[in-house]
Amino acid sequence: MQTETIDVKNILGLQLPTDPRWVDLTSISLEAILTDHAYCEQKAATTCISLIQRYSEYEELVKELAPVVTEEWGHFRAVLAELAKRNLRWGKQRKDLYVNELLLFQKKGGHVDDRFLDELLTMALIEARSCERFKRLSEGLKDDYLRKFYRMFMESEAGHYTLFITLAEHYLPKPKVRKRWKEWLEYEKQLMNTMEIRGDRIH
């Protein structure tokens, strides 16, 4: 348990690992967790598109996020295919309380650089937590195929997490990025401590 905690902190920066009971809860309804996962991938793709549109003058951002859009949309299709293969129904979208709480922490006023930074760090944090959750699923699910399925997603999300941090440091001073990132990590830790453990949500 201690090794896992260190791993989560060192690789992803997250201050609090997911409660191990979460995987057991996800096993109760694979339809629910796969449905939520599909929507997460869809929203990741559309958010990257929005960033590209909003910051079209940032050439490096456009260059780096364009393939992420393709990858996330591919993930969305892969999860839909998995639902269909198992004769499960893709259900309705549910409110993502975790992401909504993160959005509340974003700076809304002030300098455009501060807003830009928070948008990138929000995405980095979502990708980091998704990666950690996929790690849980890849190790804890009883279904052999799904364990491998989520191992693939885990590896992909880890790369996305670092990309958003790298982009932030490309456009803004590294000390500024690191200082704000620490604030985000502390906020997310407090958030995770207050959120209900639900097996029908990726976050």
**Per-residue pLDDT tens digits for 102-156:** 999 999 888 999 999 999 999 999 999 999 999 999 999 999 999 999 999 998 8
- The 10s digit of each residue's pLDDT in 89-109 is 998 988 889 999 999 999 988
- The 10s digit of each residue's pLDDT in 57-90 is 999 999 999 999 999 999 999 999 999 999 999 9
- Report how many domains make up the chain: 1
Backbone phi and psi for residue 3, each to the nearest 5 degrees, phi listed first: -60, -45
Q: Is there a domain that residue 14 lies in? A: no
Give how far Cα 13 sits from Cα of 59, 105, 170, Å.
Answer: 27, 18, 19
Q: Is there a domain that residue 1 lies in? A: no
Q: Is there a domain that residue 203 lies in? A: no
Q: Is there a domain that residue 95 lies in? A: yes
Q: What is the percentage of the chain residues whose pLDDT exceeds 70?
A: 95
Q: Is there a domain that residue 202 lies in? A: no
Provide the 3-class DSSP secondary structure of residue 76: helix
Average of per-residue pLDDT values in the chain: 91
Full residue range of the structural domain in which residue 133 is found: 24-194
pTM across the whole model: 0.92
The CATH number for 128's domain is 1.20.1260.10
Give how far Cα 69 sits from Cα of 34, 51, 110, 126, Å.
Answer: 20, 11, 29, 15
Residue 4 pLDDT more than 60?
Answer: no
Give how far Cα 153 sits from Cα of 14, 48, 122, 133, 200, Å.
Answer: 18, 17, 19, 10, 18
Backbone phi and psi for residue 133, each to the nearest 5 degrees, phi listed first: -70, -40
Q: Is there a domain that residue 60 lies in? A: yes
Q: Is the CB of residue 42 less than 8 Å from the CB of residue 15?
A: no
Query: 141: number of CA atoms within 13 Å, CB side?
Result: 23
